[in-house]
Amino acid sequence: MQLTLTKSGQVYLPNCIRKELNLEAGDNIYIFVDNKAIILAKEACEKENQCILSNRGTLHIPVEIRRICKITSALKFNVIRNIEDKRIVLSKGEYETEG
């Protein structure tokens, strides 16, 4: 599965992903970088930025994370879902995708 980053730095999480990870509108989502991939986690981590999942299922990826990962607008991410850890990995193609 691939997700596209909008010009404003938002990414839409499809309903199937939100259901698998038990994400609802208003949930805090923690965002951090690991090996130049963006990790979205429901549980807090040590080095995180925080955002809130919107009613439409969108998240805003903070500009500092986009800079670290050298992300430009309209980039397509490969998605790996880790249901056990309640995490989503967004990569620019460094990882194999599943689902």
pLDDT of residue 14: 92
Does a structural domain hold residue 97? no
What CATH number is given to the structural domain containing 39? Answer: 3.40.1550.20
List the one residue out of 62, 59, 82, 49 whose CA is nearest residue 3.
Answer: 59
Work out how many domains the chain is built from and give that number: 1
Does a structural domain hold residue 69? yes
Does a structural domain hold residue 98? no
Does a structural domain hold residue 21? yes
Does a structural domain hold residue 36? yes
List the domain range (segments joined by +) for residue 82. 2-91
What is the mean pLDDT of the segment spanning 65-79? Answer: 82
What is the mean pLDDT of the segment spanning 1-14? Answer: 87
pLDDT digit string (tens) for 11-45? 999 999 898 888 899 988 888 888 878 888 887 76
Does a structural domain hold residue 80? yes
pTM assigned to the model: 0.74
Contact between 85 and 41 under an 8 Å Cβ cutoff? The reply is: yes
pLDDT of residue 99: 40
pLDDT of residue 93: 59
Contact between 32 and 3 under an 8 Å Cβ cutoff? The reply is: no
